[in-house]
Structure 1
Amino acid sequence: MNLKPLGIGRFLGTGRRRSFNGAARTALFSAAAVVALGVVYGNIFALPDALLIGILFVCGIFALLFLTVGATRDCSERPSILDWLLSAASLACGIYFYMIRSDLVNHITLLNPLSPYMLFFGTVLLLLTVEATRRTTGLGLTVVVLVFMAYNLWGHLIPPPLGHGYIDFGSFIDTLMFTTDGVFGVPIQVAASYVFLFVMFGSLLSHTGGADFMFQLAAALTGKSPGGPAKIAVVSSGMYGMISGSPTSDVATTGSVTIPMMKRLGYTPRFAGAVEVAASTGGAALPPVMGSAAFILAEYTGIDYRNIVLAAIIPAVLYYLGVYLQVHFRAVRQGLRGVDEVDPVLETLKTGWVFIVPLIVIMIALLLGYTPTYVAVYGTIALVVASFFTRKTRMTPTKMLEGLGETTLRMLPVVGACAAAGLVIGGLTMTGLALKTSSLVLLVAGSGSIMLLLVGAGITIILGLGMPTPSAYILAAVLVGPAFAASGLPVLSSNMFLLYFALLSALTPPVAVAAFTASAIADEDAMKIATTSVKLASVGFIIPFFFVWNEALLAQGSGLQITVAALGGIVAVTLLALAVEVKMNAVVRIVCLALGAAALSPYLWLAIPIIVLALIAGLWWKRKGGLPFIRVPAPPTLDAGR
């Protein structure tokens, strides 16, 4: 059915992100900076009421969201009357809930009936949440939210076992809008604390020149080696993605430089875009910062964030090693060399050491056991102080205003997604559907752990198609997590498993959001980029199954077990990269994959001999001048400045 004549089709996608200039831009960034300062104040001074904090945070964000994100892609650059009304309604809801804050504290859910005003403002804020979700995330997550809302209200008409008892509208609003089990649950609580503060750290880092430093450092480390620009993309995108936590923004930021460089070197547009997508996607799993979904994992599971960071180190390193080696082997096989004009590493560090200091402070604070809130605060303070040591990086009032304002504006789609996830979680809790879904997953998967993991991975990727990573993870954790727990899978490894597949959904066809961003830069079909990026990110699809089997890959176990797991991972990733990128006999390819799987085994008697054998083979090949079957004479180098 063609919806264009009806005008409905315009509302099926995300809204237009408006750009402001002059006085309007100053006013917007000033208001956004005020919201940011309010969030910082609330986190540092620990206002006691989590529900009130969540409500005020959401209302403040929504007031800005409806002015900066239009209703449709082709809307006016200036906010419409409707946008102003929705923004005013968001502020009105925030003011009302603040005025009745004492009533919120004393309110007993489903026991004390809602007053007419509470029901009215709760309903208004619910509708604002749905519209904010549609404008920022598009149709996919919005449809999921609407389906669950319909199920909550009319699911009693469905026969058992999927049906549930009758839920009146007042109870529906009470649960979703007046408790921390709905909109203002774990996702929003995390977004209003850890995520916001780390996004602020990343914004201020970028405004002091941190993003440029990361690119220059990556160029200094890898630029002259075979396939230098592609390796620069891998390293710089990983470092920037660690701070931003968003594959799409990472692709847009670093890809605008690295993709054209790779194309000039000789890579096809398809491969250049895929390298950037694969590298950017893994950034949110890279310690010490990681992305918003990792903070939600910590809050949802109750696992200390420091332990999650430590557990994530080996898988993240293996992921990037896999992408890096595939780029390297392809560059050597095709005779693609690096660039000549790059600054030495020491010269780069001499001018950019101020950006290393806050990262060191963050790692020390994590190791000392501080909460993520204070880790982000200490890292930000260290960044601001260190920036004053050089004229180029100095944090001026203008940079501070821009950084704080940009932090709030970056959070707009995150808050829309997290609020929507809260709606779904509240509905699942209210109706008991989560337990029913878990039972269904166990029924489909049977008693085998492998089949259960495959089903869980499939559900997570499907949930993540067109949906932000935090929403995909938390929904998968609620729907699939109980089935994992019932089968005896450890909490840490099973949730890290879901986190990885929620991340990888950003590059998985047919709705690979990161690939669509790269396609505009590379001038190539998004699906071609997506399929190639899946190949480059193959380690990411495989390693989660192995760290569920061998928890030493998550730094769980003795020192010997962890060391063997790390070395076995390096061997396995190298063999996988060879099997994917190098032309070889099918039997040899199968042997490589089998040896790689064995190297990741939790059985030391099996893994250690393979690691030793791989080390001997590597030394022998190095002595012989490398792998003969992929050596190709290299053409002249490329000047990165041209």
Structure 2
Amino acid sequence: MTSPTRHISLQNAIFTAGLALGLYHLMVVSGVFVISTMPMRLTHVMLALSLLFVMIPASERLAGTTLNAALSLILTVATVGASIWMLTRWKPIAFSGGITTEGDFIAGVILLIVVFEAARRGIGLILALITFVFFLYPLLAPYLPGVLEGRASTLRRIVLVLTTDTQGIYGIPVGVAATYIIVFTIFGALLSNFGAGDFFFELSVRCTRGLRAASAKSAVLFSTLIGMVSGSAAGNVAVTGTVTIPIMKREGYAPHQAAAIEAVASTGGQIMPPVMGAAAFIMAEIVGVPYTAVMAAAILPALLFFGSAFVVVHLQAVKSGIAPNAGEQVSEEPLAQVLIKGGPFIAAFATLITMMLVGYSPFMASLWAMVVLIGGDVIWRRKIDRVFIEKLLRSVSEGARSIVTISAACAAAGIIAGVLGVTGLGSKIATLIDVASGGYLFLALFFTMVTSIILGMGLPTTAAYLILATVVAPALVKLGVPVLTAHFFVFYYGCISTITPPVALASYVAGGIAGADVNKVGWTAAAYAATSFVLPFAFVYGPGLLMGGTWVDNTAAVLTASAGTFAIAVAIIGTLTGRLAPVVRLIAAVAGLGLLFQGWLSAVIGIVLFCCVIIIDRARSKPIEVST
């Protein structure tokens, strides 16, 4: 066991390391330090993984032991040593056209080992194993059957490709984590420490007075508005989650439920017109249609996504016995005075949204939002004292420390993306889908869904969509799916891969804020967003969901799909007015699927089945006790 003095010293060291990591990235992003891509990513991985090994024990059993301290020290020294070697070698390697030495290979092996261990500690064994399987593919490709067979690659070549340039560990995912995600997490920590949670809680309760699940519904709406323009689910969670998750926890939601609701809402913001992030503009260019056509196709699925989220949070509140405005603590202060006191927060969010709408990058917009927030607090308080400085430093350190597990996941995802690019496995996947489906569209869609989620894990939406549009969408077009529909299908699953375990970055960020088990958050978020896993199938079979049919088709799609999402939400939560038996939940799920999949026969069947659910609920459901 560690002594109290040693524990305090360790906590101080962690705080200082987090502060150094945060200040370093703020200066890089703001332009104070001008540094090229490779050394910036190398430094980020070095600092983030070293901090992770100090913060997170090798296992719960070893926590606080001398053995854990020794293992963490060895891994930290290995990470720093190998990273410094690569920092001195990346330029000679690049300028020589890729000539490497034995020292580069040894450093690369060390870096891969520490990434595997960081992924295991930070995220879980599943991610580490998946990453390792992808790493082994180039070595085993000559011995695999059918389309998976490939040319042999040596261990040396694979290690050097993954560690000496931006194709592997230091690829796009780490680049995103090292730029705007860390800036967003620091911004979120500033909001939390400067009191934004209390302000938005009071404001949301006033605006939703008398409603059940008021804070969760406010969180869904709030996260949607920010997610619409941020284009990053994980970054959106970092900003809005520090405000919304504590509010939901105070209302009565369990930590993992609050985190899951935030992750779902933040993810869905990327599919909500009029601003859907950069990926939607890229889609318009690739498909060759106006952006307005992409928005028209996105509007109904987006509304159904958020309609489902509203129903889910309401039914979860019913099931959990949360009374309307449970835990309400609203002062009698005039609303105008409340808004004035919250001026710095309102101004910060207004700055963030406005700058992104006019074309500034997300991290630059968040930097200026932080400036506005800090300046507003100084103006409001009219003093800079020790408390102010402590909150400022604590926010930077906390925000930086919350990035370490995300960085581990990003580094692991970089290994997977690197293997796909080097081996050509990505292009083989489209062929594999076509062959495996045997020409049957439903099977092809199912395989495409699984592939899209796997390829999208750990990547920002834009990068995920670019990979999916190249690798997977052609397989659907080959089977007769319209080009826009095929691309929207993979885009949708690329978005929701951020909340789909085992790699669910948005869920991991939310779980860290909520203090909940990240894997539990991931599975809960996937359950809450179950409708989103079905919707892409529905709009392939029913063009009305993408507003691509006649006005009759479009109207019918709106009505039946709305009813279908409600039925599926009932099945997920297991509550209507009271708790439902498993068999009744299954009936509700079948009814929802029948209503979502377009067609008069399936709609009639869905309506009849859901009417049966309502009748059974009225007659046999167990009443929910409302907590007060």
Q: Are 1:233 and 2:220 counterparts?
A: no
Distance 2:5 2:444 in 1: 46
Q: Are 1:58 and 2:45 counterparts?
A: yes
Q: Are 1:185 and 2:171 counterparts?
A: yes
Q: Are 1:142 and 2:142 counterparts?
A: no
Contact 1:191 1:414 in 2 (8 A): yes
Distance 2:528 2:259 in 1: 9
2:500 to 490, 501, 505: 505
> Which residue does the alignment assign to 1:604?
none
2:261 to 270, 279, 293: 279
Contact 1:208 1:399 in 2 (8 A): yes
1:181/1:503 Cα in 2 relative to 1: closer, same or farther (>3 Å)?
closer
Distance 1:382 1:315 in 2: 35
Contact 2:464 2:494 in 1 (8 A): no
CA-based RMSD: 5.4
Contact 2:169 2:414 in 1 (8 A): yes
Return the offset for 1:248.
Answer: 12
Letter in 2 for 1:236: A
> Which residue does the alignment assign to 1:399?
391
Contact 2:90 2:164 in 1 (8 A): no
> Which residue does the alignment assign to 2:420?
428
Task: For structure 1, list consecutive stretches of 5 or more residues without a partner in the other structure.
Answer: 1-17, 264-271, 600-628
Q: Are 1:70 and 2:57 counterparts?
A: yes
Contact 1:337 1:635 in 2 (8 A): no
2:75 to 65, 73, 86: 86
Point out the more displaced range, 33-42 or 171-180: 33-42
Match of 1:339, SS? Answer: coil
Contact 1:58 1:415 in 2 (8 A): yes
Q: Are 1:386 and 2:376 counterparts?
A: yes
1:44-55 equivalences in 2 (<5 Å): 44-45=30-31, 47=34, 49-55=36-42
> Which residue does the alignment assign to 2:199?
213
Distance 1:401 1:313 in 2: 42
Distance 2:35 2:283 in 1: 22
Distance 1:20 1:215 in 2: 38
1:521/1:58 Cα in 2 relative to 1: closer, same or farther (>3 Å)?
closer
Distance 1:424 1:53 in 2: 21
Q: Are 1:441 and 2:433 counterparts?
A: yes
> Which residue does the alignment assign to 1:359?
349
1:186/1:143 Cα in 2 relative to 1: closer, same or farther (>3 Å)?
same
Match of 1:211, SS? Answer: helix
Q: Are 1:416 and 2:408 counterparts?
A: yes
String of CA shifts for 1:481-532, please: whole Å, max 9, x gaps: 61213434448624431234414425999xx98999999989xxx79x968x
Contact 1:197 1:376 in 2 (8 A): yes
Return the offset for 1:52.
Answer: 2.2
1:365/1:548 Cα in 2 relative to 1: closer, same or farther (>3 Å)?
farther
Contact 2:19 2:397 in 1 (8 A): yes
Contact 1:29 1:401 in 2 (8 A): no
> Which residue does the alignment assign to 1:455?
447
Letter in 1 for 2:52: L
1:504/1:40 Cα in 2 relative to 1: closer, same or farther (>3 Å)?
closer
Distance 1:375 1:61 in 2: 23
String of CA shifts for 1:379-418, please: whole Å, max 9, x gaps: 2222222232433998822222111111221111111111
Point out the more displaced range, 375-384 or 233-242: 233-242
Contact 1:287 1:313 in 2 (8 A): no
> Which residue does the alignment assign to 2:325?
339
1:526-605 equivalences in 2 (<5 Å): 536-545=528-537, 572-573=561-562, 576-577=565-566, 580=570
Distance 1:168 1:67 in 2: 33
Point out the more displaced range, 249-258 or 432-441: 249-258
> Which residue does the alignment assign to 1:369?
359
> Which residue does the alignment assign to 1:222?
208
Return the offset for 1:139.
Answer: 1.1
Q: Are 1:106 and 2:92 counterparts?
A: no
1:190/1:372 Cα in 2 relative to 1: closer, same or farther (>3 Å)?
same
Distance 2:429 2:625 in 1: 59
Contact 1:323 1:537 in 2 (8 A): yes
Contact 1:197 1:373 in 2 (8 A): yes
1:328/1:130 Cα in 2 relative to 1: closer, same or farther (>3 Å)?
closer
Letter in 2 for 1:74: R
Contact 1:204 1:403 in 2 (8 A): yes
Contact 1:214 1:236 in 2 (8 A): no
Distance 2:109 2:218 in 1: 47
TM-score (norm. length: structure 1) = 0.70
Distance 1:72 1:260 in 2: 31
Q: Percent identity?
A: 21
1:194 to 180, 184, 187: 180
Return the offset for 1:283.
Answer: 3.1
Letter in 2 for 1:77: G
Letter in 2 for 1:358: A
2:488 to 490, 493, 515: 493
Distance 1:284 1:393 in 2: 35
Letter in 2 for 1:217: L
Letter in 2 for 1:496: F
1:299/1:399 Cα in 2 relative to 1: closer, same or farther (>3 Å)?
farther
Task: For structure 2, list consecutive stretches of 5 or more residues without a partner in the other structure.
Answer: 228-232, 478-482, 578-583, 600-616
Distance 2:23 2:513 in 1: 34
1:125 to 103, 111, 125: 111
Match of 1:434, SS? Answer: helix
Return the offset for 1:277.
Answer: 5.8
Q: Are 1:35 and 2:32 counterparts?
A: no
Distance 1:203 1:37 in 2: 14
1:518/1:170 Cα in 2 relative to 1: closer, same or farther (>3 Å)?
closer
Distance 2:532 2:43 in 1: 38
Distance 1:515 1:442 in 2: 37
TM-score (norm. length: structure 2) = 0.71
Q: Aligned residues, how many?
A: 564
Point out the more displaced range, 144-153 or 409-418: 144-153
1:135/1:358 Cα in 2 relative to 1: closer, same or farther (>3 Å)?
same
Contact 1:473 1:502 in 2 (8 A): no
Distance 1:235 1:185 in 2: 36
Contact 1:181 1:426 in 2 (8 A): yes
Contact 1:279 1:320 in 2 (8 A): no
1:287-366 equivalences in 2 (<5 Å): 287=269, 318-325=304-311, 328=314, 338-339=324-325, 341-343=328-330, 346=336, 348-366=338-356
Letter in 1 for 2:75: L
Contact 1:132 1:416 in 2 (8 A): yes
Distance 1:76 1:94 in 2: 26
Return the offset for 1:213.
Answer: 2.9
> Which residue does the alignment assign to 2:610?
none
Distance 1:587 1:141 in 2: 34
> Which residue does the alignment assign to 2:605?
none
Match of 1:401, SS? Answer: helix
Return the offset for 1:328.
Answer: 4.7
1:360/1:546 Cα in 2 relative to 1: closer, same or farther (>3 Å)?
farther
1:60/1:179 Cα in 2 relative to 1: closer, same or farther (>3 Å)?
same
